[in-house]
Amino acid sequence: MATDHVFDLHFGAAADGYQGVSLYRYTEDGTRIDNITDWGLRQFQAQYEKGKSPSPVRSMGEGGHRLQACGASAHARPDEGPHPALRATLSHGKATGEGKKRKITKDDIFTYVYGVLHDPVYREKYAINLKREFPRIPFYPDFWQWAEWGKRLMDLHIGYETVEPWPLKRHDQPATE
C-alpha cells in the first residue's frame, strides 16, 4: 500500500509482514536524505544502458535466461510481466515501457520496485524469503514497463479515495419467503 503522507509504523499488522519503505528520510535538523542510494541509482542506470551489464551478482533464471539482480541472486520470469490479471488491469495489453530513452531517476527506481513487489507471481514465489529478509529486486529486461506498472499501481493506491463514485442506482426488492 502506498501513501503520500507520513505513515505510522503500525499502518499494517507486523504479523502480516508489512514493511514500510519511504522514498526519503529526514535527519533531526530536517535534512532530507534519499533512501535510494547513489550506488543503487548507478547500478540501475548502468544495467539498462545499451550493451552494459554491471550487476554484482548474476544467475540463470528459469528456462536458461540470464537474470541479474541488484545486490543478490534471484530467479524470476525475465521475459514476462506481472500476473496476467494485474498486467491486463494496469496496461490494458499495451507495452507502455517500450522505446523510452530517458535517464533513470531515483523516483523511477522507486516505482519499478513498487511494481515488482506487487507482482503476485513474485510474491508467491518468494513468500518465505519475504517473511524473513529484505526483498531482493531483479533487473527485468523492460525497466520502463515495470516502472510504469508500479507508478500506475501506486497512483491507484494513493488516490483510491478521490475516484469519482460509479453511478449506481439502488433497487430494493421486497423480501420473499
For residue 154, give the C-alpha cell: 501506486
Confidence at residue 8, expressed as pLDDT on a 0 to 100 scale: 63
The reply to whether 105 falls in a domain is yes
On whether residue 122 sits in a domain, the answer given is yes
Residue 74 located in a structural domain: yes
The tally of domains found in the chain comes to 1
CB count within 10 Å of CB 133 equals: 10
Looking at the DSSP bridge assignments, the partners of residue 137 are: 70
Buried/exposed code over 143-162 (b: 16+ C-beta within 10 A; e: otherwise): bbbbbbbbbbbbeeeeeeee
**Burial (CB count <10 Å: 0-12, 13-18, 19+), residue 39:** exposed
Is 141 inside any structural domain? yes
∠83-85-86 over CA atoms, to 5°?
A: 65
Q: Which domain holds residue 73?
A: 36-158
Q: Tell me, yes or no, whether 19 lies in a domain.
A: no
Residue 24 within any structural domain of the chain? no
pLDDT digit string (tens) for 59-108?
334 433 334 444 433 444 444 555 554 554 444 444 444 445 689 999 99
Assess if residue 8 is contained within a domain: no
Give, for all 177 residues of the chain, the pLDDT tens digit. 666 656 666 656 666 656 667 788 889 999 999 989 999 999 999 999 864 544 333 333 443 333 444 443 344 444 455 555 455 444 444 444 444 568 999 999 999 999 999 999 999 998 898 888 888 899 998 999 999 999 999 998 888 788 788 889 999 999 887
The answer to whether position 40 is within a domain reads yes
